[in-house]
């Protein structure tokens, strides 16, 4: 779907966090049919984002394991 910068999980309870490249954010927003400001927020000093080096305005993809769906994908806007 999109090219990403991937960082390994640091703890088994922390879902995978992937920083979406700036060039791909507009494409993703068009695919989802939303504006970047419509995304839920996540703070740049969140422990899961420290290794990503996320900055204000970046978009992070969070991949959670789900018993019913297999995987659930969420997107967050870094503030």
What pLDDT score was predicted for residue 47?
85
Burial class of residue 11 in the structure, from the number of CB atoms within 10 Å of its CB (0-12 exposed, 13-18 middle, 19+ buried): exposed
Average confidence score pLDDT of the chain: 88
Q: Which domain holds residue 18?
A: 4-78
- At residue 14, what are phi and psi to the nearest 5 degrees? -90, 125
CATH number, domain with residue 54 = 3.90.940.20
Q: What does the pLDDT look like over 29-54, one tens digit per residue?
A: 999 999 999 999 999 999 888 888 89
Q: Rounded to the nearest 5°, which phi and psi values hold at 31?
A: -65, -40
Q: How many domains does the chain have?
A: 1
- How confident is the model over 59-68, as a mean pLDDT? 94
């Amino acid at each position: 779907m999109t090219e990403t910068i991937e960082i390994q999980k640091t703890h088994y309870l922390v879902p995978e966090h992937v920083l979406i490249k700036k060039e791909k954010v507009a494409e993703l927003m068009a695919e989802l049919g939303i504006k970047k400001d419509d995304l839920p927020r996540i703070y740049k000093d969140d422990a899961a984002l420290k290794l990503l080096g996320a900055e204000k305005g970046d978009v992070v993809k969070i991949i959670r394991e789900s018993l019913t769906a297999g995987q659930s994908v969420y997107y967050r806007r870094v503030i």
